């Protein structure tokens, strides 16, 4: 089991699910949903770099550690998002708000161009868990699996 490929493949799978939900089922993401995607992109790059550097085991191990931290960062943002959804704390200034245009015509164009998606409303839940909640669970599982594989290959 190659830990770099586990991290990269798992991160790519998370992004595919998010993009299928957005483009296949028209579930538009809020700003926190989009923020959760960026660390997965980083994890893909780091995981692939770890796979490429597998002959240099110390470098490959550190790249996997960084990929795992990127995955956990996405899970952390997801945890923050769950708190916003549950009303435990407020979201960011960008949650549910768009920047204010200078004139009425620009405001109209902005409103027609993009849906405003609030961070504190659950768009869909599966088994009572929002997509942000599932991201937390998935990120913890992926980080654990990639970390376990990295420890196993180091022995």
Domain count, the chain: 1
Average pLDDT per consecutive 10 residues, the chain (155 residues; last block may be shorter): 93 96 90 94 96 85 95 96 92 69 69 70 87 96 94 77
Q: Give residue 123's pLDDT.
A: 84
- pTM listed for this prediction: 0.83
Report the CATH number that the domain containing residue 61 is assigned in CATH.
1.20.1550
SS (H, E, C) the chain: CCHHHHHHHHHHHHHHHHHHHHHHCCCCCCHHHHHHHHHHHHHHHHHHHHHHCCCCHHHHHHHHHHHHHHHHHHHHHHHHHHHHHHCCCCCCCCCCCCCCCCCHHHHHHHHHHCCCCCCCCCCCEECCEEHHHHHHHHHHHHHHHHHHHHHHHHC
Q: Give residue 110's pLDDT.
A: 61
Q: Give residue 111's pLDDT.
A: 58
Chain-centroid distance of CA 95 in Å reads 16
Q: Which residues span the domain enclosing 59?
A: 3-154
């Amino acid at each position: 089991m190659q830990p770099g490929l586990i991290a990269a493949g798992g991160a790519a799978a998370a992004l595919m699910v998010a993009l299928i939900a957005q483009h296949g089922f028209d579930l538009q993401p809020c700003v926190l949903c989009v923020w959760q995607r960026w660390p997965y992109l980083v994890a893909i790059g780091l995981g692939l770099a770890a796979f490429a550097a597998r002959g240099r085991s110390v470098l490959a191990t550190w790249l996997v550690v960084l990929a795992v931290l990127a995955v956990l960062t996405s899970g952390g943002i997801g945890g923050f998002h769950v708190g916003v959804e549950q009303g435990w704390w407020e979201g960011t200034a960008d949650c549910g708000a768009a920047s204010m245009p200078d004139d009425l015509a620009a405001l109209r164009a902005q409103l027609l161009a993009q849906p405003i998606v609030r961070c504190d409303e659950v768009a869909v839940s599966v088994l009572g868990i929002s997509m942000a909640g599932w991201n937390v669970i998935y990120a913890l599982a992926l980080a654990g699996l990639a970390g376990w594989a990295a420890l196993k290959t180091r022995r």
